[in-house]
Amino acid sequence: MSFVLGVTGGIATGKSTAVAHFRSLGLPIIDADIIAREVVEPNTEGLQAVTQAFGPQILTDDGHLDRQTLGALIFNDPEKRRILNQTLSPFIRQEILSQIEEKKQEVPLLIVDIPLLYEADYDQYMDQTAVIYVPEAIQKERLMARNQLTEQEAQQRIDSQLSIEKKKQRADIVFDNQGTIAQLNQQIDDWFASINK
168 among annotated binding-site residues: no
Eight-class DSSP state of 172: S
- For residues 99 and 86, what is the distance between their CA atoms, to the nearest angstrom? 21
Q: Tell me which DSSP letter residue 125 carries.
A: G
**60 annotated ligand-binding residue:** no
CA distance 67 to 131: 28
What separation in angstroms does the CA of 66 have from each of 70, 79, 106, 174?
6, 19, 36, 37
Angle between the 45-54 and 78-104 helix axes, to the nearest 10 degrees? 170
DSSP string of 38-85, one letter each residue? HTTSTT-HHHHHHHHHH-GGGB-TTS-B-HHHHHHHHHT-HHHHHHHH
Residue 98 annotated as binding? no
Backbone angles phi, psi at 131, to 5 degrees: -115, 130
Q: In angstroms, how far is CA 119 from the centroid of its own chain?
A: 11
**13 annotated as a binding-site residue:** yes
* Annotated binding-site ranges: 12-17
* Annotated binding-site ranges for ATP: 12-17
